[in-house]
Structure 1
């Protein structure tokens, strides 16, 4: 006679009862001068202390824009330093980051912005064949004549404005640099008070499903959800502050922003972005030149790197582990890796 069964994972490692901001601050305190983030295609490098400075500036700037606890802030961009900064800054002010697929077209963007109730959108200027500025202008033509934070769109009534990562975006967009300049409008005491009100079980992220069986569904996730997801993945990899992780997977997906970013942030490991999107040669060079110990990727990425002619000319001996996921991993590919 069959019996019901119950199984559970390891119980020796307690879950973190922290907000993402608290976990980040703890890592900054422990590893201030260690390298936190390397963004090779932008030529940017940050220690944990330098990254914390950027996060705090942009968190206070979000508050100056009127972003309140529970407000949705969308991010529509390929991998870049600003993605990581906004992920942490939005969490530190209690906002909910809405991940938007960089491949979305106008109709998909409109659906996600309306369905999530985004108050602000942060977008790149362009990516591959997508002109983000043009698509936003098509969606909200009122933006061009709206004051900062004063957008009134009939189609997207919740949206108050759009921040562009470009240096000189079209009229109506707030440049990322101009956003940072607003930080001084929020007193440090007000920023600290906001953080003190946050709880680890509050929502912090909305991730959309692929929509293969209908319209994409937004999964609302708490600090507790995704921080522990990243933390436990890092534990399974044995991450330490000596590890350097190359991250070619997209940040808008949980593989990038949770398993990679939050896995590193909870362990003090270095995050390395080789490019704005996957490129086999640039990823291999990042591993070799950054002396990386961990590499993430989906099976097709590993196949492309294995088959790339430059692989045999590069020293990849520092790699000790990684994750191949996101799709079925053929046993032949796993053996080759």
Structure 2
């Protein structure tokens, strides 16, 4: 009988049946003197014992404000020690932490706070060019006139508490550090509240990053993200001796699950090289802290490899890490392994709605498979590849990837219709990604179902063409999108970023393809760009790129 594209993650290690708070307490008992968190820019070097004490104090402080289990509390901030304290403190108190994208502006902030009806908001004063205090006061001008903790806003009627980071005081806002002064009675109440929590309770709302349109609030439980973080760390073979450099945004699953929870579940050290990604800061931090692991999206690794001082840094302590967030160029992976000593780097694949990882390569997978696939299915999960009619396809055939298991979100907050569109009656999460599973269970992502270009009846998978163009010696990065065409319906457009100092024209790029790939796959249009539209996490927003190219070419 022909083997079908269905796989499941058999595993001897059982799922963790505990809340995040309870599991953190067991980790602190085992690794109390291990470094938990290092943030050089804040002069933070906390052991697990110190980290746990601050988490408990903050959790108790939040409850003391009158917040109750199930209330939503937003956090709008860059990477910092306060962010991870909030992550674990809200979990201990049974509050639902709402991750707010640091790149959001006024309208987006208002949308998110209203959508999930946040009772409280923790925010940084500013980050890069964003003045968060000013934007919030534009949305809720009543803040300046209200006493701390007594906010009544016409546009944000459910928001009662605003807590700012930093030492300075702002009218109408509480100060983060003031919440850390918990007494014995406060801590006793926290313990009572924590005992009532269940691991299937919602604990986190993450708004999808907007690569395909308007964001939706994926609602995740203790069980979702705690287990996913644990098995991610297992795949990396993390131990309490590891130090993981985390330059990816904490507001996203990549930072808070693949980074923070992978570390904490193994007693490893979380290391933040800065408030946002900076290639020089990452290189300096890896060297100074002797990091053994490093996370990043492909564009981050490209920036590190292309940094003019790259060769001056000692990265020899690195062994593992994760490259994820968007498809990983094979040539970039080879350079990371060869030049950054990351011989045990893994590739991870998933989506926010699945907590997020559902496939990951193993550190001892053959090199060719680690650079050409996303590995095999994660423990305790099921995956199938289906055709347009929903039938499972044979191994080696393309189709949409569906995921089922402990990691699938509860749903989109306040949006039953969108939830039903994403999760079917059998609890399969429809990812929208096109994939192929081989006879040994290794999976390759070949594109997004919405990214597929249909040229005169021929299906073109942009990912396949991109991988070929990465071989061109002058090409640093490339993304292919479909643009309208009267004759064929769609034509392929290659958007190319050249290596520094290089020059090329469209004819040269097309000539490189001649005789190497099918004629209909050769891009009709080649545009040279300086950068791609991206989310804060480094995901390419292809729908924006597609719109821009259509406009520039006069086709839309």
1:214 Cα deviation after fit: 3.8
For 1:127 and 1:99, the matched residues in 2 are separated by 15
Matched, 1:264 2:263: yes
For 1:176 and 1:185, the matched residues in 2 are separated by 19
TM-score (norm 1): 0.97
1:115 Cα deviation after fit: 0.2
Matched, 1:302 2:301: yes
For 2:334 and 2:209, the matched residues in 1 are separated by 29
Please, what is the CA RMSD of the aligned residues? 1.4
1:307 Cα deviation after fit: 1.5
For 1:291 and 1:188, the matched residues in 2 are separated by 36
8 Å contact 1:246–1:271 — kept in the other structure? Answer: yes
Structure 1: where are the runs of 5+ without partners?
Answer: none
1:146 Cα deviation after fit: 1.7
1:315 Cα deviation after fit: 1.5
Match of 1:166 in 2: 166
1:2 Cα deviation after fit: 5.9
Match of 1:86 in 2: 86
Match of 2:177 in 1: 177
Q: Aligned ranges for residues 125-140 of structure 1 at < 5 Å? A: 125-140=125-140
For 1:269 and 1:3, the matched residues in 2 are separated by 40
For 1:167 and 1:187, the matched residues in 2 are separated by 23
Match of 1:157 in 2: 157
Name whichever of 166-175 and 285-294 sits farther off. 166-175
Match of 1:42 in 2: 42
Q: Tell me, what secondary structure is at the counterpart of 1:74?
A: strand
Match of 1:205 in 2: 204
Which structure shows the higher strand fraction?
2
Match of 1:56 in 2: 56
8 Å contact 1:244–1:272 — kept in the other structure? Answer: yes
Q: Tell me, what secondary structure is at the counterpart of 1:84?
A: helix
Q: Tell me, what secondary structure is at the counterpart of 1:53?
A: helix
TM-score (norm 2): 0.59
Match of 1:193 in 2: 192
User: How many residue pairs align between the two structures?
Assistant: 336
- Superposed CA deviations along residues 166-211 of structure 1, whole A, max 9, x for unmatched, are 2114211111122223x33953221111110011110000000123
Matched, 1:235 2:234: yes
1:313 Cα deviation after fit: 1.6
8 Å contact 2:121–2:161 — kept in the other structure? Answer: yes
Match of 1:330 in 2: 329
For 2:252 and 2:52, the matched residues in 1 are separated by 23
Name whichever of 206-215 and 70-79 sits farther off. 206-215
Match of 1:251 in 2: 250
Structure 2: where are the runs of 5+ without partners?
Answer: 337-556
Task: Pick closer, same or farther for the CA change 1:186–1:208 going to 2, 3 Å.
Answer: farther
Name whichever of 167-176 and 208-217 sits farther off. 208-217
For 1:312 and 1:166, the matched residues in 2 are separated by 37
Q: Tell me, what secondary structure is at the counterpart of 1:7?
A: strand
Q: Tell me, what secondary structure is at the counterpart of 2:85?
A: helix
1:311 Cα deviation after fit: 2.3
For 1:243 and 1:2, the matched residues in 2 are separated by 43
- Superposed CA deviations along residues 273-320 of structure 1, whole A, max 9, x for unmatched, are 000001111101111111111100011111111122332222111111
Name whichever of 30-39 and 212-221 sits farther off. 212-221
For 2:317 and 2:120, the matched residues in 1 are separated by 41
- Superposed CA deviations along residues 213-232 of structure 1, whole A, max 9, x for unmatched, are 44210000000000011111
8 Å contact 1:38–1:272 — kept in the other structure? Answer: yes
1:3 Cα deviation after fit: 7.0
Match of 1:119 in 2: 119
Match of 2:550 in 1: none
8 Å contact 1:202–1:223 — kept in the other structure? Answer: yes
- Superposed CA deviations along residues 84-137 of structure 1, whole A, max 9, x for unmatched, are 001000000000000000000000000000001110000000001100000011
Match of 1:291 in 2: 290
